[in-house]
Amino acid sequence: MHKKLFIPGPVEVNPAVLEKMATPLIGHRTKDATALQQGISEKMQKVMATKNTIVLSTSSGSGLMEGAVRCFTKKRAAVFSIGAFGKRWYKMCTANGIPADIFESELGQITTPEMIEEALSTGKYDLITITQNETSTGIHNPMARLAEVYKKYPDVIVCVDTVSSMAGDFVPVDELGIDVCITSTQKCLGVPPGMAIAAVSDRAIEKAKTIENRGLYFDYVELVKFVKEKPYQYPSTPSLSHMFALDYQLDRILEEGLENRYARHKRLAAKVQEWAKTHGGLYSDPENLSVTVTCINNTTGHPFSDINKAMGEKGWLISNGYGDLKDKTFRVAHMADTTDEEMDALLKDLDEVLASL
Ligand SMILES: *Cc1c(COP(=O)(O)O)cnc(C)c1O
């Protein structure tokens, strides 16, 4: 039996979208491939509320994250971490020999405007990374408040991880002054894993051109050059199969309407948060809860593996905690194309499972 995925990626993919992965292939240097990539770019610009260049990468989101710290850091990176995925940016810096400092919030808490001010006012940093939605703890950062601070430092390149939120949570890239905004296909976009997408500002690219050792496969200068000059091409052979699926799914997303999509994510999040309040409680700061994934304290007295096994028998897969929170919490994702009916059914079954254990 297929278990419906309510883990924070990969997510359940609509059958019609899955089918698009089986579209007969086309040559990647053809006009058809150009048209396909252009279509995706224009639709992604709507989803990301940006005029910046959209680059695709045949990799998961981590590839473009690693490429970003390499391409855009000249002096030193300030990594603002609110959990596992913030730490990942830091590891990417150190693994590539990029000078970096990490500014960690307590787990379950946000990055504060004060933390950004304190770091940037030193003048030491020319790149910052922010996790807009932290999947390990189920919180999202107050981006508008953070933007008020980093916008005062126009020489700093702002990189934001929206891997588990873009197309589920409203992140207006241009309004927030984000230079490099990164996401992956397998979370809120509702497409199989294997492709990453970033919106990149011209000023970031101009800066990157002055930086050596940007790497090759994830070199944003090259990725943008192929979009702007070829145009709408990819430096190597992209996963055209993902592109067919993504293009089609973006039509579905825009057909639903972004406002409706954001409202649905909020509604689903509220259902799970309500459930959590009477079942162990929410792990994270209630003021800043994610609209795409909820992290719940496991006070059931049962190891999570038992809960998920019983849930599996009912056809669902939810997620354990991440990293240090593996056994203390569990997570329910409510992202991409999940419906109200599915969410209600899942929570009902979760109640049944807990009563039966
Ligand atoms: C999943 C996730 C990543 C990693 O993305 P991949 O596409 O798996 O490389 C990074 N950041 C966040 C917040 C995530 O949820």
- Number of residues written out for the chain: 357
Q: How far apart are CA 29 and CA 320, in angstroms?
A: 43
What pLDDT, on the 0 to 100 scale, is given for residue 323? Answer: 87
Among 87, 92, 161, 197, say which to mutate for ligand 1: greatest number of ligand atoms within 8 Å of CB: 161
Same domain (yes/no): 236, 348: no
Same domain (yes/no): 290, 243: no
We report the CATH number of the domain holding residue 223 as: 3.40.640.10
Cα 308 from chain centre = 24
From the number of C-beta atoms within 10 Å of its C-beta (0-12, 13-18, 19+), residue 334 rates as: buried
Same domain (yes/no): 250, 271: no
Q: Is the pTM of this model over 0.95?
A: yes
* Total domain count, the chain: 2
| Closest residue by Cα to residue 133 from 13, 3, 265, 260 | 265
Among 11, 62, 111, 159, say which to mutate for ligand 1: greatest number of ligand atoms within 8 Å of CB: 62
Same domain (yes/no): 57, 193: yes
* Structure-token pair, residue 28: 């990647």
| Boundaries of domain holding 67 | 16-254
Distance between Cα 65 and ligand 1 center (Å): 9
Which residue among 230, 254, 278 closes a domain?
254
Which residue among 254, 276, 307 closes a domain?
254
We report the CATH number of the domain holding residue 268 as: 3.90.1150.10
Same domain (yes/no): 316, 248: no
Average pLDDT per block of 10 residues along the chain, 357 residues long: 97 98 98 98 98 98 98 98 97 98 97 98 98 98 98 98 98 98 98 98 98 97 98 98 98 98 98 96 97 97 95 98 91 98 98 95
* Structure-token pair, residue 55: 């680059």
Same domain (yes/no): 51, 193: yes
What pLDDT, on the 0 to 100 scale, is given for residue 105? Answer: 98
Same domain (yes/no): 219, 279: no
Distance between Cα 290 and ligand 1 center (Å): 15
Q: How far apart are CA 135 and CA 83, in angstroms?
A: 8
Same domain (yes/no): 226, 286: no
CA angle, residues 219, 232, 183, in degrees to nearest 5: 55
Which residue among 195, 219, 254 closes a domain?
254
Same domain (yes/no): 138, 212: yes
Which residues line ligand 1 at a C-beta cut-off of 6 Å? 8-9, 60-62, 85, 131, 133, 135, 161, 163-164, 184
| Closest residue by Cα to residue 334 from 31, 11, 50 | 11
Tell me 303's DSSP state: -
Tell which atom from ligand 1 comes closest to the C-alpha of 62: 9
Report the b/e string of 226-261 with b at 16+ CB within 10 A: bbeeeebbbbeebbbbbbbbbbbbbeebeeeeeeeb
Distance between Cα 164 and ligand 1 center (Å): 7
* Structure-token pair, residue 173: 């890239």
Same domain (yes/no): 28, 130: yes
What pLDDT, on the 0 to 100 scale, is given for residue 21? Answer: 98
Tell which atom from ligand 1 comes closest to the C-alpha of 135: 15
Q: How far apart are CA 295 and CA 348, in angstroms?
A: 18
Q: How far apart are CA 350 and CA 316, in angstroms?
A: 9
Same domain (yes/no): 298, 162: no
DSSP letter for each residue of 216-229:
STT-HHHHHHHHHH
Tell which atom from ligand 1 comes closest to the C-alpha of 193: 7
